[in-house]
Structure 1
Amino acid sequence: MRRWLALLVAATTSLVLIALLVPLGLLVRQLAESDAISQATAEAQSVAAVVGTADVAGLALTAERTSASSGHAVTVFLPGGDVVGSPARRSPAVELAARGRSLVAETPTGAEVLVAVQGVPGGTAVVRTALTGQDLTRGVREVWLGMLVLGLALIGVGIFVADRLALALTRPMTGLARVSHRLAGGDLAARTAVSGPPEVRDVGMALNHLAGRISDLLAEERETAADISHRLRTPLTGLRLEVESLPDPESAGRLQARVDALERAVTSVITDVRRRSRESAGCDAAEVVRERVTFWAVLAEDQDRPMELELPQATLPVAVSAADLSACVDALLGNVFAHTPEGTPFAVRLTPSPVGARLVVADSGPGLPAAPGSGDPLERGRSGAGSTGLGLDIARRTAETSGGSLLLETTPGGGATVILELGTP
């Protein structure tokens, strides 16, 4: 927007300056011509004053002095055909002036000012002052150059002022866009500084109000989910007591296991609600991956699985909590152990990436099995190997929560490769 506003102001200023300076430039040229002709006329009249009183020698001396002082060639055409002063031919304009009419005539090299002097014995004398093209335009080029510099300076000032005004408009709009992206990424604490024109300030206040309202609604939803989860504990406790009072131990044990599973699910819901109610945190991906791979390394050794681990030496922060990243790594490695034969090698690589961090889990097994119905293997609940199909979905949601993505590829030589892009905090 800044560039377009600058171009608009430059174009508008240029048109205005052209409309003003072009006529002004032509007027300056006309004034220069008029001034030169007026000066030449005065010089010719000063010589004409002595035509009738001086002899030829005196008249020639006067013409020469006038030519030397003014720089213009002064010629006197006498009635008898004699020419005194600077040599010049008797042009048709001189013949016209000899009839008693003073005039200004154009010549191939400029102009000539002709002053008729009547009362001279033998007829009418004509005093001619020659002007060159340089005489007619003296000072015009300098004035035009000054006007051009002034016009360019005014255009530059206009562009600078327009850029400052555009910056005052675009800076708060850029801030609004940045805050909206942060809100879309899950940062509900993001707020914009209300500044700029009244309309932009209204938008900023509306965005801040919307962000606050979203935070309130999410907090209310989480509190409601937590309340519901807690309320379930009371009937669960009563159900547990009823199961314990059953006379059949086998049935009681089976129902007790079901109650325990239900209680664990409720506890998981409460824990998840509490975790989501906290601000999004980050962790050191290198430390978390090293810890989880060390945990799985024991099982890999028992199954004779060659394992390759590549981690960066420095810390690698990502916008994922340690618990979520641990669950993600466990899901990916659990898939390797669950869906590849024992002895199948696998590799875990964590490297920096333009997004933040790249986690690659590759194995040399049979590859990703086709899901029933040829659906997307990343779709929640889909699995081609009899599992719940939630492992890849957990990894995908973890990556997208951090601002990254998940990609599935085929390992060279056979096998599956899961590439997880994790964003920075």
Structure 2
Amino acid sequence: MKNRLILLTLATSSLVLVAFMIPLALMVRSAAAEHAVDDAATQAQATASLVATLDRTDLPAVVGQSVRPVTVFLPDGGVVGQQAVRDDAIRLAATGRSLTTAAPGGREVLVAVAGLPDGTAVVRTFVPDSELRRGVARTWMILGAVALGLLAVTAAVAAMLARSLIRPLTALVDASDAMASGDLTVRTAEAGPQEVRRVGSALNRLAERISALLQHERETVADLSHRLRTPLTALRIDAESLRDPEDHARIGEGLDDLERVITDIIRTARRPSAGEPPGAARADAAAVVRDRTTFWSALAEEQDRLMHVDLPPQPVWVAATPEDVSECVDTLLDNVFTHTDEGTPFTVRLIAATDGGATLTIADSGPGFPDPSAVVRGTSTRLRSTGLGLDIATRVATRSGGTLTVTASTSGGAAVVVEFGPPRGDAGAGRRALRTGRRASVR
């Protein structure tokens, strides 16, 4: 758009310059010709006054001293000075009429000298084309240079004006791109022409409205989830009154699963992640994983599980909030404790990526995943599983710019690999972390 504005201004200025310069150039050429003709006419008039007063015998010497070639046609047919052909124009001038006429190679000035005893003489001076155009080319070059200079100034002014218009538009585009990427906190400065300021103001109001709607939606979902706890509590009381142990256990497990789902909904709804672009969040994955494994270690010890934790001693920064990383670890560890028998060992390993981010692997020695579709939301091939756990972990990994994959562990069990992306500006942090060398291992 900037280039188009400059081109439009240059095109308009060029038309104005052409409309002005062409008549001026023609006027310069006409003025140069008139000046040369006037000089020749002045000399012819001076020679004519001498022809009228001098004796004929003195005339050749005086004519020969003229600055430009002069020819005098005498009434008796004689010619004094430079030889020239007596043509129709000279015969017309001999009738007493002075004139200027075109001739081959230039123009000739004819001055009639009346009052001589024998009749009328004619003084002729010739102006060549080179003299008629003397200085015209140089003047035209100067005019061309002036025109180019004016165009350059016009282009500079047009570029300044275009920048003053494009800059606020570019800010609007950048703000729109940021909002489209999920950053609803960005605002654009209301600058530039009135129309652009109105667009910027409307965009800012739109972002505020979307943020308010998202906040309202999160609060509504969380409120509804909390309301579900009341009938859930009533169902649990009813389940406690069941006499059949199998029915009691089956309904209790279902209520436990339902309570976990409701808890996840509340946690997700309350998470203030809306408005943050991918990569804007930041958390020390090593610290979070260390904290969560310490929490789960008590249950692992109670169930006689061998828990192997392999973490780097230095911080490992990933593009996720501490709450997201904690939720991901809790979800995956809960799957291990829920879907494997007591005494089944498992491993938690965190490795800093070479180009930033980290890879979290939780592997067990249980039966493993019979179907890779377990990562699909709502899909499960196991009893008492809603299939939401891995979906929650997948969304955490995706929000950070990473991925989640399900594979088999080296012992034949299940292995979930979560790749977290690096925070903004932290590319290469993994390489710095790897250079520290030492890793910690906790049992």
Name the TM tier (shorter chain).
Answer: 0.7 to 0.9
Relative to structure 2, which stretch is displaced further, 51-60 or 387-396?
Answer: 387-396
* Aligned AA (1:172): P
Alignment of 1:100-249 (within 5 A): 100=95, 101-249=97-245
What's the CA shift for 1:116?
A: 1.7
CA displacement, residues 111-164 of structure 1 (integer Å, 9 cap, x when unaligned): 221112122233332212221223212332233223212222222222222222
1:10 aligns with 2:13: no
How far residue 179 of structure 1 moved from its aligned partner, in angstroms, is 1.0
Aligned counterpart, 2:94:
99
In structure 1, what residue type is equivalent to 2:223?
Answer: D
CA distance in 2, matches of 1:328, 1:259: 22
1:90 correspondence with 2:93: no
Deviation at 1:51, TM superposition (A): 0.3
CA contact (8 A) 2:282 2:423 kept: no
Q: Say whether the 8 Å CA contact 2:182–2:274 is kept in structure 1.
A: no
Deviation at 1:6, TM superposition (A): 0.8
5 Å matches for 1:285-364? Answer: 318=319, 320-324=320-324, 350-352=353-355
CA distance in 1, matches of 2:103, 2:404: 86
Deviating more after overlay: 255-264 vs 391-400 = 391-400
Identity over aligned pairs, percent = 44
Paired with 2:370 and 2:241, the residues of 1 have a C-alpha distance of 47
Query: Shift of residue 171 of structure 1?
Result: 1.4
Once the two structures are TM-superposed, the CA of residue 89 in structure 1 deviates from its matched residue by: 2.1
Conserved? CA contact 1:399–1:423, under 8 Å: no
1:210-263 CA-partner distances (Å, limit 9, x unpaired): 111111111111111121222223333333333334444554344333322222
Within 2, Cα distance between the matches of 1:235 and 1:243?
A: 12
Asked whether the 8 Å contact 2:113–2:123 carries over to 1, the reply is yes
* RMSD (Å), alpha carbons: 4.7
Aligned AA (2:281): G
Do the aligned partners of residues 384 and 422 (structure 1) sit closer, same or farther apart at CA in structure 2, a change above 3 Å counting? farther
What is aligned with 2:282? 283
Task: Report the counterpart of residue 365 of structure 1 in structure 2.
Answer: none
Is the contact between residue 317 and residue 424 of structure 1 (CA under 8 Å) also seen in structure 2?
no
Shift of 1:369: 10
Q: Which moved more, 1:122-131 or 1:205-214?
A: 122-131
Aligned length: 390
**Cα gap change, 1:265 to 1:328, in 2 (>3 Å):** closer
CA distance in 1, matches of 2:332, 2:247: 37
Provide the secondary structure at the position in 1 that maps to 2:50: coil
How far apart in 2 are the matches of 1:211 and 1:200? 17
- The code of the aligned residue for 1:173 comes to L
The CA distance in 1 between the partners of 2:55 and 2:350, in whole Å, is 121
Q: Which residue matches 1:54? A: 54
Range moving further from structure 2, 72-81 or 222-231: 72-81
